[in-house]
């Protein structure tokens, strides 16, 4: 039976370039898509750029241009990267399209019709000079948790806490530097509670989700009444204005997944067909691939919207983990945060496709890119075993072609054909590493056959020409069969194998019948080996950029006067005692001496970097007039000054000779 499958990868955000982590998802989805096409199913692979939201708006503003310009440029870059990795979208759209606006409007209308939209007044920060509500990122102030200054209204970059903008201490508008006032804003909410039963049934019993995901949702959201979802954001906001709410825009996560449908609409307009035939057809299957970070948008809000608007629920939501590099999180400073384009400067796309395939299982586990393993798998599996089959047999028959009838092979080809079933099942289950394992077993068997048949000996005896041709016919057929199985993973290599043997490589069933009596082209190099040095080079950090990334992360603060500065009483202090704090993950307790008998007790979050013993006797910079803060472990009287971001911590010390108690001027 021919299935009709609409497959999506999550929409990449137009705020950054595609990197190796993104590619885990797009390569994985593409393998699934190509597999389904090879099996003869009707497939639509839809994707688009996710373009809305404050981050885009702020960045465009910073770069002094329109957001439309920014997202157009990014869309080009994204599509170029995807094309280089053979990602075979049927259509690649944008959430900032008329199609997306239309679909969003119609879904909104349906939600209202069903009484699922609620309007409520919510107090928000309002800039009276500019006469506008301030989005989270347009207001800065002191973090209510750690009191770090200059933090945005949604989250603190210093301590990672998240909070509503209304909780900021001493908030200021980034536009006018005025103190915003609280004012009621009419916000729109999508009410999810009426859909609780539907969502529970779909998440728990439909089989659409991996078991871990179903458990997660049950334990975190579905065990209590689902809360209303705030989907509106006040202007200015780069996105779509809500039709009946002038001055309010849909939150980016409202219209982002709608892009899946809009992309289908655009594709149908171009290629023929009707988007409803994919989205409102119980016989069609919608399959989403996405990373674990966006699980709940796709497993609660999105199906709720689909259901309420009369679309079918996804048949499958396949969630994957993150990419690590050599056991650690990707990191710019370590050079392991590698963009797609940088990868292409050093290595071949096919290598990565195969390596990811050989690592990807059906679970949500993170995937670890290990340099040595990467080199080993590509070189020994692909070049040494698979391609080697062709390169050690093709040239013996390039003049005579394949035998007229497929020769006796003691059942090798038939066993390979039978293995196709299990390989296909593994692909279907997204257990690509299992599929690769099984294919490589076939390649092992084939190489063993070559060894026993020893074509290089047959070649020396003119009487054994027919035997030689038969032997190579078998080997090339096993190679062909293996390459059919690998076509979803390695389309380019597969095409080369097809050219060698005059085979189209576009049907899974071609693995079931041997080729015979046909020409064999001259063998040409099909795949290069990986040089370990190239991998290492790729992961070596580039020379520091002209503008320091640190200064970007924490831009210079607004101008102050000398009087402002003098309000802070900075003193030289000596660390008299230092100790670990029982039960604290990050804190050390310090006793500071300010000269004479003046001592202060301070808790400092520097445990990750400093040992108590190395601190005693050290001179540090002390913020003396900071209001004492009561903490779980005691009262902290001020703080010690330190610099650093992202886990780096550097205590400030005075030059030699400074004495405890001296003030900074």
Partner RNA sequence: GGGCCCUUAGCUCAAUUGGUUAGAGCCGGCGGCUCAUACCCGCUUGGUUGCAGGUUCGAGUCCUGCAGGGCCUACCA
Least distance in Å: CB of 223 to RNA?
9
Nearer to RNA, 387 or 651 (CB): 387
Task: Pick the closest to residue 54 from 260, 249, 261 (CA basis).
Answer: 249
Q: Of the ranges 29-37, 419-427, 512-520, 579-587, which one interacts with RNA (CB under 7 A)?
A: 579-587
Least distance in Å: CB of 169 to RNA?
14
Least distance in Å: CB of 346 to RNA?
17
Q: Of the ranges 124-132, 170-178, 213-221, 311-319, which one interacts with RNA (CB under 7 A)?
A: 213-221
Least distance in Å: CB of 219 to RNA?
4
Nearer to RNA, 68 or 211 (CB): 211
Q: Where are the beta strands (DSSP E) in 271-424?
A: 284-291, 316-320, 323-325, 328-329, 367-369
Is residue 585 a contact point for RNA (CB under 7 A)? yes
Nearer to RNA, 124 or 359 (CB): 359
Least distance in Å: CB of 528 to RNA?
6
Nearer to RNA, 114 or 395 (CB): 395
Q: With the CA atoms of 85, 86, 90 and 93 taken in that order, what torsion angle do they form, in degrees rounded to the nearest 10?
A: 20
Angle 349-359/20-38 helices, nearest 10 degrees?
80
Provide the H-helix boundaries in 142-291.
196-205, 211-220, 252-255, 258-271, 276-279
β pairing state of 4-9 and 284-291: parallel
Is residue 461 a contact point for RNA (CB under 7 A)? no
Distance CA 147, CA 229 (A): 29
Contacts with RNA in 276-305 (CB under 7 A)?
292-293
Rounded alpha-carbon distances, angstroms, from residue 598 to 383, 491, 574, 617, 622: 72, 74, 11, 16, 13
Q: Of the ranges 70-78, 272-280, 503-511, 581-589, which one interacts with RNA (CB under 7 A)?
A: 581-589
8 A C-beta contact, residue 279 and residue 44 = no
Distance CA 622, CA 570 (A): 6
Contacts with RNA in 161-200 (CB under 7 A)?
161
Distance CA 437, CA 385 (A): 13
| Residue of 31, 47, 156, 575 interacting with RNA (CB under 7 A) | 156
Q: Of the ranges 227-235, 299-307, 369-377, 461-469, which one interacts with RNA (CB under 7 A)?
A: 369-377
Contacts with RNA in 600-629 (CB under 7 A)?
603, 605, 629
Task: Pick the closest to residue 209 from 356, 89, 313 (CA basis).
Answer: 313
Taken in order 361, 366, 369, 372, the sign of the CA dihedral is negative
Contacts with RNA in 433-452 (CB under 7 A)?
433, 437, 440-441, 444, 447-448, 450-451
Distance CA 367, CA 327 (A): 9
8 A C-beta contact, residue 468 and residue 443 = no
Distance CA 380, CA 634 (A): 60
Q: Please list, in sequence order, all residues whose beta carbon lies within 8 angstroms of the beta carbon of residue 353, skipping any fewer than 6 positions away.
A: 27, 30, 31, 85, 86, 489, 490
Is residue 385 a contact point for RNA (CB under 7 A)? yes
Cis peptide leading into residue 448 (ω within 30°):
no
> For residue 178, what are its two tokens?
């005025």
H or E element at residue 603: strand 599-604
Print burial letters for 550-563: b (CB count within 10 Å at least 16), e (below 16): eeeeeeeeeeeeee
Is residue 217 a contact point for RNA (CB under 7 A)? no
| Residue of 387, 426, 484, 573 interacting with RNA (CB under 7 A) | 387
Least distance in Å: CB of 474 to RNA?
13
| Residue of 55, 235, 294, 383 interacting with RNA (CB under 7 A) | 383
Task: Pick the closest to residue 74 from 19, 18, 10 (CA basis).
Answer: 18
**Residue span 306-335 as binding mask against RNA, x where in contact by CB under 7 A, dash where not:** -----------------------x------
8 A C-beta contact, residue 29 and residue 7 = yes
Nearer to RNA, 160 or 502 (CB): 160
Is residue 483 a contact point for RNA (CB under 7 A)? no
| Residue of 376, 612, 654, 661 interacting with RNA (CB under 7 A) | 376
Nearer to RNA, 237 or 539 (CB): 539
**Count of residues binding RNA (CB under 7 A)?**
65
| Residue of 72, 159, 641, 652 interacting with RNA (CB under 7 A) | 159
Is residue 365 a contact point for RNA (CB under 7 A)? yes
> For residue 630, what are its two tokens?
């009561």
Least distance in Å: CB of 263 to RNA?
28
Is residue 456 a contact point for RNA (CB under 7 A)? yes
**Residue span 499-528 as binding mask against RNA, x where in contact by CB under 7 A, dash where not:** --------------------------xxxx
Binding stretches for RNA (CB under 7 A): 145-146, 156, 158-161, 212, 215-216, 219-220, 292-293, 329, 359, 361, 363, 365-366, 368, 370, 373, 376, 379-381, 383-385, 387-388, 391-393, 395, 433, 437, 440-441, 444, 447-448, 450-451, 454-457, 525-529, 584-587, 603, 605, 629-632, 636
């Amino acid at each position: 039976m021919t299935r009709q499958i609409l497959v999506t990868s999550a929409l990449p955000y137009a705020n950054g370039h595609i990197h190796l982590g993104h590619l885990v998802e797009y390569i994985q989805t593409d393998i699934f898509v190509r597999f389904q096409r090879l099996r003869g199913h009707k497939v639509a692979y839809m994707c688009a750029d996710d373009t809305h939201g404050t981050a885009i708006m702020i960045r465009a503003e910073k770069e002094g241009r329109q957001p439309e310009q920014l997202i157009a440029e990014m869309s080009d870059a994204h599509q170029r990267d995807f094309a280089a990795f053979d990602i075979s979208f049927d259509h690649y759209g944008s959430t900032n399209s008329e199609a997306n606006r239309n679909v969003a409007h119609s879904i909104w209308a349906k939600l209202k019709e069903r009484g699922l939209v609620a309007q409520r007044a919510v107090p928000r920060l309002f800039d009276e000079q500019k006469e506008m509500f301030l989005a989270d990122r347009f207001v800065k102030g002191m973090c209510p948790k750690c009191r770090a200054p200059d933090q945005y209204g949604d989250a603190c970059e210093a301590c990672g806490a998240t909070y509503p903008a209304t909780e900021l201490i001493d908030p200021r508008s980034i536009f006018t530097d005025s103190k915003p006032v609280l004012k009621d804003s009419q916000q729109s909410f999508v009410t999810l509670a009426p859909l609780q039963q539907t969502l529970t049934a779909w998440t728990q019993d439909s089989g659409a989700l991996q078991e871990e995901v179903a458990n997660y949702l049950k334990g975190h959201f579905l065990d209590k009444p689902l809360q209303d979802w705030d989907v509106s954001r006040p202007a200015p906001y780069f996105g779509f204005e809500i039709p009946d709410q002038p001055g309010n825009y849909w939150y980016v996560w409202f219209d982002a997944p709608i892009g899946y449908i809009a992309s289908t609409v655009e594709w149908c307009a171009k290629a023929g067909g009707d988007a409803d035939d994919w989205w409102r057809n119980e016989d069609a299957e919608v399959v989403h691939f996405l990373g674990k970070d966006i699980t709940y948008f796709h497993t609660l809000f999105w199906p709720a919207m689909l259901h309420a608007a009369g679309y079918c629920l996804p048949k499958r939501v396949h969630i994957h983990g993150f990419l690590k590099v050599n056991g650690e999180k990707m990191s710019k400073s370590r050079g392991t945060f590698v963009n797609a384009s940088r990868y292409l400067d050093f290595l071949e796309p096919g290598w990565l496709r195969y390596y990811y395939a050989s690592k990807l299982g059906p679970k949500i586990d993170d995937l670890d890119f290990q340099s040595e393993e990467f080199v080993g798998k590509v070189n020994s599996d692909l070049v040494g075993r698979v391609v080697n089959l062709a390169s050690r047999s093709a040239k013996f028959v390039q003049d005579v072609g394949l035998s007229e009838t497929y020769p006796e092979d003691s059942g090798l080809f038939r066993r390979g054909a039978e293995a196709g079933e299990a390989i296909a099942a593994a692909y279907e289950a997204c257990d690509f590493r299992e599929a690769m394992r099984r294919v490589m077993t076939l390649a092992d068997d084939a190489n063993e056959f070559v060894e026993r048949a020893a074509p290089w000996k047959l070649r020396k005896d003119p009487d054994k020409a027919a035997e030689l041709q038969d032997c190579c016919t078998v080997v090339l057929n096993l190679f062909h069969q293996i390459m059919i199985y690998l076509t979803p993973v390695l389309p380019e290599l597969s095409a080369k194998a097809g050219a060698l043997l005059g085979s189209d490589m576009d049907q899974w069933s071609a693995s079931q019948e041997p080729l015979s009596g046909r020409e064999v082209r001259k063998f040409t190099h099909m795949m290069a080996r990986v040089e370990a040095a190239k991998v290492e080079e790729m992961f070596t950090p580039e020379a520091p950029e002209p503008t320091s990334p640190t200064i970007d992360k924490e831009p210079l603060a607004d101008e102050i006067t000398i009087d402002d500065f003098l309000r802070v009483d900075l003193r030289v202090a000596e660390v008299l005692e230092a100790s670990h704090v029982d039960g604290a993950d990050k804190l050390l307790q310090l006793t500071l001496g300010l000269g004479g008998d003046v001592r202060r007790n301070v808790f400092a979050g520097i445990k990750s970097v400093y040992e108590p013993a190395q601190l005693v006797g050290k001179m540090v910079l002390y913020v003396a007039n900071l209001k004492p803060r009561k903490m779980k472990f005691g009262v902290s009287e001020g703080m010690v000054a330190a610099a650093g971001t992202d886990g780096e911590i550097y205590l400030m010390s005075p030059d030699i000779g400074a004495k405890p108690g001296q003030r900074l001027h």
